[in-house]
């Protein structure tokens, strides 16, 4: 049975308990629609990338490495919020399955992919004691650290042997390396991002630059802003240096002006774009909860970040569909979600390595992960009293 959720503002100030319940429901929807054993192997679980799924998707011919990294990250969110043996076991199964499906090891040729996995596995080990992550983190840290290229002025490329150095690789890599104790390299990466990819006109972070030619690709995506907010807040905590606090403030102002509508984060569509707004929400929540400092600016920045998360989560929840009692989130949180029909219009890989949207974006695991990520973010900011 499918029903439309009423689009009302009735829950003007939901409690942490209510957001926790909604996060539980978002998790349950992904578990029931998307998770299945990898190749029928006992003790495995991986995310099917579409619902309803094609035969290739059910067989994990398509699996999308970086989507699965965010699935692990969301599973860690849920286990940290409400610890249960089944949640901890699921994280272990997801981690194990990622290694099996990747076939050649933990790494691949895409530095952005590896950075997202490193973030998820570091959290899984640190907060949940997932021992399967330890060997992976050694391999991933080495790859990310050694990718830094001073010969072209710094930065790491998007993928091996590419001339394209972008925010989606350098931002999450800097977060991962900072959390793995590589604060000096993380700071070099943050400084490179600010000097190279910050648009002086809007204050937003541009997508990337070709080096050594210096040709800049100028699209601005929500997740690029999210990862830079994340690494600057991370470094503000570890270094106490003023420039990181100032960059968070400046970028928050730009995000409010250019990346939200009515206080709600703009949607990124489906395919890979389905994760973009969820990533911004995750790191806005991180800023809201973790940004240090008691000056008026830091207090205001924490509140502003929390307000965007709450407004986005309220809108996404109001615009969800309910399918057999479980939420289906829209790709654009400010508009009613659409029910995908059948398996036609499934996304596919482009020659550049990105994944396109399904005909109905709500079909994509990426879109539903963003919804789950957002519910967890809303719980985190409300539990912090923001």
- Give burial (CB, 10 Å; 0-12/13-18/19+) of 129: exposed
CA separation for the pair 175, 34 (Å, rounded)? 28
The region that residue 97 occupies, defined by phi over 0 for left and psi between -120 and 50 for alpha, beta otherwise, is alpha
- At residue 365, φ and ψ (nearest 5 deg) are -55, -35
**CB of 279 closer than 8 Å to CB of 227:** yes
Percentage of the chain with pLDDT > 90? 91
pLDDT of residue 108: 95
Q: Which of 82-96, 213-227, 278-292, 351-365 has the lowest mean pLDDT?
A: 351-365
pLDDT band, very low/low/confident/very high, at 334 (cuts 50, 70, 90): very high
Residue 46 three-state SS: strand
- pLDDT greater than 70 at residue 50: yes
Q: Which of 95-99, 151-155, 161-165, 340-344 has the lowest mean pLDDT?
A: 340-344
Q: If you write DSSP's letter for every residue of 78-129 in order, what string do you get? A: HHHHS--HHHHHHHHHHHHHHHHHH-S-S--SBHHHHHHHHHHHHHHHHHH-
pLDDT of residue 132: 86
Q: Which residue has the tokens 């957001």?
A: 19
pLDDT band, very low/low/confident/very high, at 115 (cuts 50, 70, 90): very high
Query: In angstroms, what CA-CA distances link 37 with 56, 58, 355?
Result: 14, 10, 23
Residue 217 three-state SS: strand
Token pair recorded at residue 385: 């009293």
Cis peptide before 52 (omega within 30 of 0): yes
Q: Which of 50-64, 70-84, 91-105, 332-346 has the lowest mean pLDDT?
A: 332-346
Nearest CA among 58, 44, 48 for reference residue 91:
44
pLDDT of residue 4: 58
Q: Which residue(s) pair with 323 in the sheet?
A: 2, 326
Give the pLDDT confidence of 193-215 residue by residue, as tens digits.
999 999 999 999 999 999 999 99
**Strand pairing report for 264-265 and 321-323:** unpaired
| Burial track 103-123 (b if 16+ CB lie within 10 A, e otherwise) | eeebbbebbbbbbbbbbbbbb
For the chain, list the domains and their CATH numbers: 16-337+354-384 (1.50.10.20)
Q: Which of 5-14, 326-335, 343-352, 359-368 has the lowest mean pLDDT?
A: 5-14
- pLDDT greater than 60 at residue 10: no
Average pLDDT of the chain is 94
Nearest CA among 45, 120, 34 for reference residue 86:
45
Torsion sign (Cα): 153, 157, 162, 168: negative
Taking only Cα atoms into account, the Rg of the chain, rounded to an integer number of angstroms, comes to 19
Q: Which residue has the tokens 């997508």?
A: 207
**CB of 34 closer than 8 Å to CB of 365:** yes
CA separation for the pair 99, 43 (Å, rounded)? 13
How many Cβ atoms are within 10 Å of 146's Cβ, its own excluded?
9
**CB of 287 closer than 8 Å to CB of 301:** yes
DSSP letter (8 states) at residue 37: -
Q: Report if pTM > 0.75.
A: yes
Cis peptide before 107 (omega within 30 of 0): no
CA separation for the pair 382, 386 (Å, rounded)? 5
**CB of 112 closer than 8 Å to CB of 169:** yes
Q: If you write DSSP's letter for every residue of 316-377 in order, what string do you get? A: HHHT-EEETTEEE--SSTTS------SSTT---B-TTS-BPPPSSGGGBHHHHHHHHHHHHH
pLDDT band, very low/low/confident/very high, at 353 (cuts 50, 70, 90): confident
**CB of 192 closer than 8 Å to CB of 170:** yes
């Amino acid at each position: 049975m499918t029903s439309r959720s009423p689009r009302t503002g009735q829950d003007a100030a939901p409690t942490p308990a209510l957001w926790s319940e909604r996060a539980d429901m978002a998790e349950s929807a992904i578990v029931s629609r998307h998770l299945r054993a990898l190749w029928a192997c006992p003790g495995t679980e991986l995310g099917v990338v579409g619902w309803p799924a094609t035969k290739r998707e059910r067989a994990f011919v398509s699996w999308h490495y970086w989507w699965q990294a965010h699935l692990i990250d969301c599973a860690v969110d849920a286990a940290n919020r409400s610890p249960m043996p089944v949640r901890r076991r699921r994280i272990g199964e997801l981690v194990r399955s990622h290694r099996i499906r990747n076939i050649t090891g933990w790494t691949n040729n895409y530095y952005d992919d590896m950075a997202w996995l490193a973030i998820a596995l570091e959290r899984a080990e640190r907060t949940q004691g997932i021992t399967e992550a330890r060997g992976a983190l050694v391999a991933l840290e080495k790859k990310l650290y050694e990718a830094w290229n001073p010969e072209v002025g710094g930065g790491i490329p998007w993928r091996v042997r590419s001339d394209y150095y972008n925010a989606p690789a350098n931002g999450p890599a800097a977060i991962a390396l900072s959390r793995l104790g590589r604060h000096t390299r993380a700071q070099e990466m943050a400084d490179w991002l600010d000097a190279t990819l910050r648009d002086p006109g809007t204050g937003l972070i541009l997508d990337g630059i070709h080096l050594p030619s210096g040709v800049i690709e100028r699209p601005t995506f929500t997740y690029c802003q999210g990862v830079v907010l994340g690494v600057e807040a991370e470094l503000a905590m570890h270094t106490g240096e003023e420039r990181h606090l100032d960059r968070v403030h400046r970028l928050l102002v730009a995000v409010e002006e250019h990346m939200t509508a009515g206080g709600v984060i703009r949607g990124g569509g489906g395919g890979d774009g389905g994760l973009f707004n969820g990533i911004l929400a995750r790191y806005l929540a991180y800023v809201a909860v973790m940004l240090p400092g008691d000056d008026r600016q830091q207090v205001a920045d924490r509140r502003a970040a929390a307000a965007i998360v709450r407004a986005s989560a309220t809108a996404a929840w109001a615009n969800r569909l309910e399918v057999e009692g479980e939420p289906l989130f829209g790709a654009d949180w400010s508009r009613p979600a659409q029910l995908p029909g059948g398996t036609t219009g499934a996304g596919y890989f482009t020659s550049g390595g990105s994944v396109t949207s399904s005909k109905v974006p709500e079909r994509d695991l990426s879109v539903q992960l963003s919804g789950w990520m957002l519910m967890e973010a809303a719980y985190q900011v409300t539990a912090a009293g923001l």
